[in-house]
Structure 1
Amino acid sequence: MRLRRTLGAVTSAALVAALAACGTDEAADAADADAATAADAAGDGEALVIYSGRNEDLVGPLLDDLEAAVGVPVEVRYADSAELAAQLAEEGDRTPADVFFSQDAGALGALAKAGLLAELPDDVTAAVRDDLKDASGSWVATSARARVLVHDADAAPEVTGFDSVDDLLDPAYTGKIGYAPTNASWQSFVTALRVMRGEDGAEEWLTQFAALEPVDYEKNGAVLQAVNDGEVAVGLINHYYWYPLAAELGEESMNAQIHFLDADDPGALINVAGAGTLAASDQPDAAAAAVAYLLSEDAQQYFADETAELPVVEGVTSTVYDVGSLDEMTGARLDLNDLDSLPETQALLEKVGLL
């Protein structure tokens, strides 16, 4: 059974407040109520409880296999990663959760900095390179994705020579760039921009970008489709949206092509989905085994073949998509924990009129 309880509307900004309020009586009362509800649904705590910020349609089959691998019943609560992180902060040591499976590194970084995640065993984290895990072992990446530029090969062939998002700030692209302002991946890119260039540098770039009158779409997939249909010449997306569409339509039939910047640039951000175990878990061994399963060859192959994501364990490559490997890519150099400042990112985007 999966817990499909809908969490209350928790804004990303509330995550910071929730983290700050972990020790308050109000947060403790709310945590008691939530923990009791989830414990009842999970069979009085006998099951391993996973809070998943990853979509059920995407990872549901994988988590079914995880249950068999760890040898205990598994209950999964699905919601947005930021909402779940805020919920975990409110619940504190009363949480029923044993594992947090996040869509992005920022939510994991926030919980790690708040001391809510346990240190994972060395034999779990050893499989993943240092820049894709927390330095103290609080969380580890389970798959990765790269930011890329998608472009109309006929309308904007010059994009193949770009090595920075600064190359987009050309008046020639006015009204011809697509982006997804409410999407978490765009906001993670802007957070990386802030971390790498500072608040003033990020505001300057965003102000110039806004002046180009970019066309907003709801999701990355819509940006990709818009480029392929000729609505816009360039878009900013994650790499894994392109490969399934190219497989469906035939790469030779695609107007849209992708370009990896391969540079120490915010536009080359390599972000991750990842997992950590809760410090409050009363099943630490089973929780660690669950994270270890997400790094197993079977799980890594699932990410590579089913989602076109980049495996984080050496030696696993997709048998379906010609994506390449992380070792072949150069990305933005930053501590992924620092992607936790989403409220500040949203405030800046509102200030410059992009949200």
Structure 2
Amino acid sequence: MFLSKKSLLVAMATVGLTTSLPALSQSSGVLNLYSARHYQTDEALYADFTKQTGIKINRIEADDNALYERLRSEGKNSSADVILMVDAARLWRAEIDGLFQPVKSKVLETRIPKNLRSNDAGQGSQWFGFSTRARVIVYNKATVKASDVDTYEKLADPVNKGKVCTRSGSHPYMLSLIGAMYERSGEAATEAWAKGMVANMARAPKGGDTDQIKGVASGECGVALTNSYYLARLMRSDKPADQQVVSKIGLIWPNQASSGAHMNVAGGAVAKNAPNKAAAIKFLEYLASDSAQQYFADGNNEWPAVKSVKTNNPALNKWGSFKEENISIAAIGKNQIYAQKILDRVSYK
């Protein structure tokens, strides 16, 4: 059973959803997409898929939590074919709650690295990462020495007391970082780090990643964490205010002498009750294609999951290569439970 246009719009208003094409349906020529990606450049991605395949995309957009709750409430009556989410913690949560179905695809298994997809128990992967982003450190060049903040661990050192800014510890980006640290260093070391971070805060955690960057540039913060694509946006901006922000900060690729920079994913999955499963798999395979991977890189400043794809993005190319953390994204997602417990114990808000 499918929602009428009227009931769909009512439901979307209830949970704060928006859609460019509200009438979801079941047809071999239709794909119903639930997306947590809110990037204008993705419009070209979807248009290219339709041009190549003739499959029309009906899209609902919301943040990950709203999509998650909608899928749970719709259950077997959901019209969703594909779900796109933007963090390992969120993908893992939806997988565990049975909102996805496994996919066997030679194309996806060949092109998407094993560490960027869910564990395959012989039935296929539940989700696939299609682009990556690094969790980097930015610091105020006038007040902070790069050598004092060149690892995640050093952010918790006493030398940085009163200098650190982050968004909420419970945000999935932070949960994933802490989940990776838990996997790498264990519970005791991760909790000691989180306690040190709380002691070093310049202010209570608030705002998004761009707010952290601007806080560093203004001098409110000495050092902060951000996802790489937020910084790349500012670097590519032609606004004088953004260029002034960029001029005042330094960029650190963390842990280059040890574990490497923490990496996260934007990924996709076929919905558990997808009415158009064949189209859904075709869309995921398209997202692994060279042309789609190029859209991720050039349009939203993300690195392609398919390593053979070269980017024309000036910000990404300026940064060059760096050492990446080699931890399974699935393990990072799983560890969010332990990460949240640690944050609660040390009062990391």
TM range, smaller chain: 0.7 to 0.9
- Which secondary structure does the structure 1 equivalent of 2:303 belong to? coil
Query: Residues 44, 223 of structure 1: CA spacing in aligned structure 2 closer, same or farther, 3 A cutoff?
Result: closer
1:201/1:259 Cα in 2 relative to 1: closer, same or farther (>3 Å)?
same
Indicate the larger mover: 115-124 or 94-103.
Answer: 115-124
For normalisation by structure 1, the TM-score amounts to: 0.79
Aligned equivalents of 2:85 and 2:48: distance in 1?
18
Q: 1:109 to 1:43 in 2, by over 3 A?
A: closer
- Residue in 2 that maps onto 1:219: 208
SS at match of 1:172: helix
Q: Secondary structure at the match of 2:314?
A: coil
Q: Does 1:244 align with 2:238?
A: no
CA distance 1:290–1:154, shift in 2 (3 Å): same
- Cα distance, 1:7–1:68 mapped onto 2, change above 3 Å: farther
Q: How do 1:77-156 residues align onto structure 2 when only pairs under 5 Å count? A: 77-115=60-98, 116-136=100-120, 137-156=125-144
Counterparts of 1:156-175 in structure 2, within 5 Å, are 156-159=144-147, 162=150, 164-175=151-162
Residue equivalent to 2:327: 333
Alignment match of 1:205 (pick from 158, 174, 193): 193
Structure 1 residue 251: Cα displacement: 9.1
Counterpart of 1:139 in structure 2: which amino acid?
W
Distance 2:339 2:134 in 1: 19
CA shift for structure 1 position 236: 0.8
Aligned twin of 1:255: 248
Q: Give per-residue Cα distances to partners, 1:315-346, cap 9 Å, x unaligned.
A: 32332324259974321523435414546544
Given candidates 20, 23, 26, the residue that maps to 1:45 is: 26
With over 3 angstroms needed to count, the CA separation of the structure-2 counterparts of 1:151 and 1:332, relative to structure 1, is: farther
Q: CA deviation at 1:287?
A: 0.5
Cα distance in 2, alignment partners of residues 262 and 344 from structure 1: 22
Question: More deviation in 225-234 or 189-198?
Answer: 189-198
Residues in 1 aligned to 2:80 and 2:315: alpha-carbon distance in whole angstroms: 37
| Aligned residue number for residue 268 of structure 1 | 261
Cα 1:179/1:134, change in 2 over 3 Å: same
- With 42-51 and 257-266 compared, the bigger mean Cα shift is at 257-266
| Regions of 4+ moved over 6 Å | 264-267
Deviation at 1:54, TM superposition (A): 1.3
- Contact 2:176–2:336 (Cα < 8 Å) also in 1: yes
CA contact (8 A) 1:147 1:239 kept: yes
Give the aligned residue type for 1:247. Answer: R
Q: Is the 8 A contact 2:130 2:265 kept in 1?
A: yes
Specify the code of the residue in structure 2 equivalent to 1:127.
Answer: R
Secondary structure of 1:146's partner? Answer: strand
Q: Any stretches of 5+ residues in structure 2 without a counterpart?
A: none
**In the superposition, relative to structure 1, how do residues 85 and 265 fare at CA in structure 2: closer, same or farther (>3 Å)?**
farther
Tell me the equivalent position of 1:24. none
Would you say how many aligned residue pairs link Structure 1 and Structure 2? 325
- The answer to whether structure 1 residue 76 and structure 2 residue 59 are counterparts is yes
Matched, 1:293 2:286: yes
1:270 CA displacement: 0.4
- Counterpart CA distance in 1 for 2:220 and 2:41 is 28
- Contact in 2 for aligned 1:94/1:280 (Cα 8 Å): yes
**Matched residues in 2 for 1:94 and 1:305: separation?**
37
Can you give the 5+ residue segments of structure 1 that lack an aligned partner in the other structure?
A: 10-37
- Choose the corresponding residue for 1:62, options 39, 45, 52: 45
CA distance in 1, matches of 2:42, 2:131: 12
What RMSD in Å do the two structures reach over aligned CA positions? 3.3
**Stretch deviating more after TM superposition (255-264 or 134-143):** 255-264
Deviation at 1:289, TM superposition (A): 1.2
Report the alpha carbon displacement of residue 280 of structure 1 after superposing the two structures with TM: 2.1
CA contact (8 A) 1:69 1:293 kept: no
Cα gap change, 1:278 to 1:152, in 2 (>3 Å):
same
Q: 1:98 to 1:60 in 2, by over 3 A?
A: same
Alpha-carbon distance in 2 for matches of 1:303, 1:119: 22
1:258 Cα deviation (Å)? 1.1
CA deviation string 1:17-41 (max 9, x = no partner): xxxxxxxxxxxxxxxxxxxxx9x95
Match of 2:163 in 1: 176
CA distance in 2, matches of 1:254, 1:327: 22
- For 1:333, the aligned partner's letter is I
Q: What are the superposed Cα offsets for residues 255-295 of structure 1, whole Å, 9 maximum, x if unpaired?
A: 21211124597883200001111242232221111112222
Cα distance, 1:97 vs. partner? 0.8
Secondary structure class of the residue paired with 1:74: strand
Residue matched to 2:270: 277
Q: Name the SS of the counterpart of 1:286 in structure 2.
A: helix
